[in-house]
Amino acid sequence: MSVTSAVAEARGLTKVHGRGESRVPAVDAVDLEVPEGQTLAVMGPSGCGKSTLLHLLGGLERPTKGEVWLAGRRVDTLSERALARLRRRSVGFVFQAFHLVEELSAAENVELPVLLAGHSRREARRRARLLLDRFGLTARARHLPSELSGGQRQRVAVARALANEPRLVLADEPTGNLDSAATLDVLRVFEDLRAAGQTLVIVTHDERVAATADRLISMRDGMFVDDTRLTGAATGWLGGLAGLEG
């Protein structure tokens, strides 16, 4: 059992990439608790270990040392099969480069994880319809990713990440490939998630994105060098959005 009721938890989490001469300590003995409903932004210079941290929390990579807990279950000791199952049901991933299936329509991209989790086609369609509607994409449901703008693609990717109602959403530079207008669209989506109490960890280089979170962790050389609670409307989602509109 997990020590706390945090949605995501890490204890002494360490990841070393490579061996010998090419050994790179990417994440260095970090402790973290992400409580239910928290929006956490992680910032830091390129190569400081942000993406590795996200991959470890979501069970995409295994730690060299330390523990990862997700929704009360220890993740790092699970078999590949059990881990894949847990990822599918409990974690939603959003990537900078969208990673949509190019041959499938927007709706089919959202339906896919629902089908893979063993639900009926009817249920998959129902969820896709609701999520695309929630993010203003109903008119784009039959479009292929190549027929969508960057902001629309990322909104489809967020809808897909939510399709199995995950306890945790992990976003790696979700606005990194977007211009200001599209960034604003995607931030509105994250505002919606936050208002709905979705637990969320966002890695970002964009201070405007980070300013919209409840909490900001700064990383350097694989370690946390600052952990700040952001408070008040000025640093909340509306403050972040106002900054974007100029």
Ligand X SMILES: Nc1ncnc2c1ncn2[C@@H]1O[C@H](COP(=O)(O)OP(=O)(O)OP(=O)(O)O)[C@@H](O)[C@H]1O
Which amino acid makes up residue 159? A
Instruction: Please tell me what DSSP assigns to residue 45.
Output: S
Is 18 near ligand X (CB under 6 A)?
yes
Structure tokens, 25: 């300590």
Member of 38, 52, 105, 152 binding ligand X (CB under 6 A): 52
Choices 3-11, 50-58, 124-132, 138-146; region in contact with ligand X by CB under 6 A: 50-58
- Residues 131, 54, 91, 157: what is their CA dihedral angle, to the nearest 10 degrees? 20
Is 234 near ligand X (CB under 6 A)?
no
Member of 47, 118, 136, 197 binding ligand X (CB under 6 A): 47
Is 154 near ligand X (CB under 6 A)?
no
Nearest distance in Å: CB 202, ligand X: 12
Q: Can you tell me which residue has the tokens 């977007």?
A: 178
Which amino acid makes up residue 40? L
Which amino acid makes up residue 225? V
Nearest distance in Å: CB 44, ligand X: 6
Report how far residue 136's alpha carbon sits from residue 131's, in angstroms, rounded to the nearest whole number.
9
Nearest distance in Å: CB 114, ligand X: 29
- Which residue's CB is nearer to ligand X, number 111 or number 173? 173
- Which residue's CB is nearer to ligand X, number 48 or number 110? 48
- Which residue's CB is nearer to ligand X, number 34 or number 106? 34
Is 48 near ligand X (CB under 6 A)?
yes
Is 194 near ligand X (CB under 6 A)?
no
Report how far residue 194's alpha carbon sits from residue 197's, in angstroms, rounded to the nearest whole number.
5
Report how far residue 80's alpha carbon sits from residue 57's, in angstroms, rounded to the nearest whole number.
15
Question: In this structure, are residues 58 and 87 in contact, taking their beta carbons and an 8 Å threshold?
Answer: yes
Residues that bind ligand X (CB under 6 A): 17-18, 24, 26, 44, 46-52
